[in-house]
A and B are shown apart, each in its own frame.
Chain A
Amino acid sequence: MLLINCPYCEEERPELEFRGSGEAHIARPSNLAEISDDDFEKFFFIKDNEKGIVFERWRHIHGCGRFFNSARHSVSDKFIMTYKAGIAKPKLSKAQIDAVKPPAKGTPANEPVWTIDPMAEEGKK
């Protein structure tokens, strides 16, 4: 289960409180009746479905009830950030992306990557 930081409540809460609401930063055309079938398909059906950094919408449905956006890595499932609705798509730095990259090939993708060795810490005490 993901832990998600709601930018309005300013608190990390379990995924169960949230409703995923799909890809973020899709601008709905203001002249929907006039656009071509091609443009409608692009707006409505075509998805980035990125293997890497995804920008997506969430709604804190069992909390403040508000929509917000997030940037997450779709292989490690780790969040880079969540931010309030209406804020432009953030430009991410290489350091930010590297921090959420999955472990290199050969290590189980979801094994926690320890920055501090808990066993060594235990020995010090």
Chain B
Amino acid sequence: MRKFSAFAIAREAFRHQSGWEKQWQNPEPKASYDVIIIGGGGHGLATAYYLAKEHGITNIAVLEKGWLGGGNTGRNTTIIRSNYLYDESAGIYNHAVKLWENLSQDLNYNVMFSQRGVMMLAHNVHDVQVLKRHIHANRLNGVDNEWLTPEQAKEFCPPLNIAKSARYPVVGAALQRRGGTARHDAVAWGYARKANDMGVDIIQNCEVTGINRGINGEVTGVNTSRGTINAKKVGVVAAGHTSVLMEMAGVRMPLESYPLQALVSEPVKPCFPCVVMSNTVHAYISQSDKGELVIGAGTDQYTSYSQTGGLHIVNHTLDAICEMFPMFGRMKMLRSWGGIVDVTPDRSPILAKTPVKGLYVNCGWGTGGFKATPGSGNVFAHTIARDEPHKINAGFTLERFKTGRLIDEAAAAAVAH
């Protein structure tokens, strides 16, 4: 694979852009692989990449039901932050942020990672207590997070309405300066390109219909819409469809799949410098480099696999956005869509071995998996290659729902997720 560089752009300018290569191949599946990854989204492709790069396993197939990054990787609001309360969460999300910081160089692919800052607003005494608790916990874990007064918040994000007359006035904010956004499609494409370059087969339009097991219960491979493929190790990285896939291996999961919606406005000139979140009024907004406002709405209250959701959920978020940023009151919204997120009881992911030998699962990222993509792939690759978890994901087991050692970010966030 030829490197992307300024010289390459100059070279191609003189060659009528004729020298650009296909970024990844479209191979027929082989009869067997060392490792099969089910799910060609960011997390799955990252897993394949780190397996090849750090563990020397390149005989890998990534099986994707649709097209690369067409699930939640292409549907999220691209926010990256690591200001989680518990040690385990701070560990894995901060591991991801550190990898994000060098990802474009590492992949030789511009993922447009921009550390523009993530600001979480407080609207009442409860919010202030929760956010300050997070700030203190984060600092102890080496995660940057600081407290801002309403005036400082307004200085950091000028469109913010801090008037006392607002329905839910802003009384303060927590700011993580190292947080920001990245280009979601580029993350999938960058990982796919580099993984493919190292020998990973990326097989699209290949739906897994069964997980095969041997005499002793160990995994022997998968049945797919393109035939049977054998492997001794299978990693399930299928987000909203994890329950369906794990059922094929006889493992029942502590997961529920909900539709989560997002929407974008018409593109406008740069007007919004950072990411702003408010859990209390449920608003979640940033501006993409293309100029669209990217807005995250909530989940519906019922489980569904429909990749759509109720309009009242979107409406609710827009109410809050208009109140906090009056200048967006007449902005036109262009598109809204839904993705299916797999939610665990404690709102922390599961990155672990399973009771089935050779079967590994990376799921339960719920409403916030994109930010963890590199970190998740990195430690999941370690878990598959060594058949034991990395110390960063050691706590994110499937057994924690039996032992009670939950990583309860649901309670920590103190809002409905």
A71 to B203 Cα, complex, angstroms: 36
A74 at the B interface (CB under 8 A): yes
A74 contacts B243, CB within 8 Å? no
A37 contacts B241, CB within 8 Å? no
Please indicate the chain A residues that have their CB under 8 angstroms from the CB of B329 in the complex. none
B17 at the A interface (CB under 8 A): no
Chain B residue nearest in CB terms to A40? B402
A2 contacts B255, CB within 8 Å? no
Please indicate the chain A residues that have their CB under 8 angstroms from the CB of B312 in the complex. 1, 15-16
A38 at the B interface (CB under 8 A): yes
B302 contacts A47, CB within 8 Å? no
> Which of A49, A51, A56 is the most central at the interface, judged by chain B CB atoms within 10 Å of its CB?
A49
* In the complex with contacts A49-B243, A51-B241, A51-B244, A75-B254 CB distance below 8 A: no
Chain A residue nearest in CB terms to B406? A45
* In the complex with contacts A15-B310, A41-B402, A45-B345, A74-B304 CB distance below 8 A: yes
A55 to B301 Cα, complex, angstroms: 14
B401 at the A interface (CB under 8 A): yes
Please indicate the chain A residues that have their CB under 8 angstroms from the CB of B304 in the complex. 74-75, 77
A4 vs chain B, min Cβ distance (A) = 10
A26 vs chain B, min Cβ distance (A) = 13
A82 vs chain B, min Cβ distance (A) = 13
A56 contacts B305, CB within 8 Å? no
Chain A interface size band reads 20 to 34
B31 vs chain A, min Cβ distance (A) = 27
72-91 of chain A: CB within 8 A of chain B: 72, 74-77
Please indicate the chain B residues that have their CB under 8 angstroms from the CB of A76 in the complex. 306
Query: Looking at the complex, which one of A44, A47, A75, A102 makes contact with B253 (CB distance below 8 Å)?
Result: A47
Query: Looking at the complex, which one of B254, B257, B306 makes contact with A46 (CB distance below 8 Å)?
Result: B254
B226 vs chain A, min Cβ distance (A) = 16
Query: Looking at the complex, which one of A47, A51, A56 makes contact with B254 (CB distance below 8 Å)?
Result: A47
A20 at the B interface (CB under 8 A): yes
A49 vs chain B, min Cβ distance (A) = 4
Chain B residue nearest in CB terms to A37? B402
A25 at the B interface (CB under 8 A): no
Please indicate the chain A residues that have their CB under 8 angstroms from the CB of B241 in the complex. 51
Please indicate the chain B residues that have their CB under 8 angstroms from the CB of A40 in the complex. 402
Please indicate the chain B residues that have their CB under 8 angstroms from the CB of A38 in the complex. 402
A102 to B305 Cα, complex, angstroms: 11
Chain B residue nearest in CB terms to A75? B305
A42 to B244 Cα, complex, angstroms: 17
A122 to B87 Cα, complex, angstroms: 64
> Which of B244, B254, B305, B403 is the most central at the interface, judged by chain A CB atoms within 10 Å of its CB?
B305
A1 to B308 Cα, complex, angstroms: 10
* In the complex with contacts A1-B312, A76-B306, A109-B307, A46-B252 CB distance below 8 A: yes
A110 at the B interface (CB under 8 A): yes
Q: Mark A29-52, 1 if CB is under 8 A from B, else 0.
A: 000000001101110111111110
46-70 of chain A: CB within 8 A of chain B: 46-51, 54, 56
A20 contacts B302, CB within 8 Å? yes
Chain B residue nearest in CB terms to A109? B306
Query: Looking at the complex, which one of B254, B307, B310 makes contact with A2 (CB distance below 8 Å)?
Result: B310
B397 vs chain A, min Cβ distance (A) = 12
A47 contacts B305, CB within 8 Å? no
B256 contacts A56, CB within 8 Å? no
A51 to B342 Cα, complex, angstroms: 12
Query: Looking at the complex, which one of A2, A15, A47 makes contact with B256 (CB distance below 8 Å)?
Result: A47
Which residues of A does B touch, CB under 8 Å? 1-2, 15-16, 19-20, 22, 37-38, 40-42, 44-51, 54, 56, 72, 74-77, 102, 109-110
Taking A46-B253, A49-B255, A72-B302 as known contacts, 18 extra A-B pairs with beta carbons closer than 8 A to each other, sorted by chain A number, are A1-B310, A1-B311, A15-B301, A20-B302, A37-B403, A37-B404, A41-B254, A41-B402, A47-B256, A48-B243, A49-B253, A49-B257, A51-B305, A74-B304, A74-B306, A75-B304, A77-B304, A102-B306
Complex A-B: 23 CB contacts under 8 Å: A1-B310, A1-B312, A2-B302, A15-B312, A19-B301, A37-B403, A41-B254, A44-B401, A47-B254, A48-B243, A49-B244, A51-B244, A51-B305, A56-B302, A56-B303, A72-B302, A74-B257, A74-B305, A74-B306, A75-B306, A109-B306, A110-B306, A110-B308
Which residues of B does A touch, CB under 8 Å? 241, 243-244, 252-257, 300-308, 310-312, 345, 401-404
